[in-house]
Amino acid sequence: MVGFFIWGLAGFWDRVKRKIDFEENQSSQSAMKNALREREMERDGSIFIVWGLKLVWVIIRGVFFPIFYIIFMIRGEKEIKEQIEQTQELKATLES
């Protein structure tokens, strides 16, 4: 479970870095607008709800993404085996 949590946090830190890069490259008007919006969110406490929901999303993604990925790998392996069998049957038909 801890591994899944760490895996989920890896994407979170990349997103934080992208946000910092975005803030450095935006215009002064949009920077002021975003700063005022964040200040208002800090004042009324809704920023904690936003960050809490982001953290919950990271945890959910970190836990459930590997499960879906494993299911995808298992299904993909079965499909590849079926395609190999079909290819071998077609090869045998062409050789005879």
State the average pLDDT for the chain. Answer: 80
Cβ neighbours of 11 (radius 10 Å): 14
Q: Say whether pLDDT at 56 is over 80.
A: yes
Distances (CA, A) of 80 to 65, 76, 85: 22, 6, 9
Beta-carbon contacts of 25 under 8 Å, excluding residues fewer than 6 positions away, are none
Q: How do residues 6-42 score in pLDDT, each as one tens digit?
A: 666 666 777 778 878 877 777 777 778 878 888 888 8
CB-CB contact of 50 with 41 (8 Å): yes
pTM over 0.75: no
Question: How high is the pLDDT of residue 4?
Answer: 63
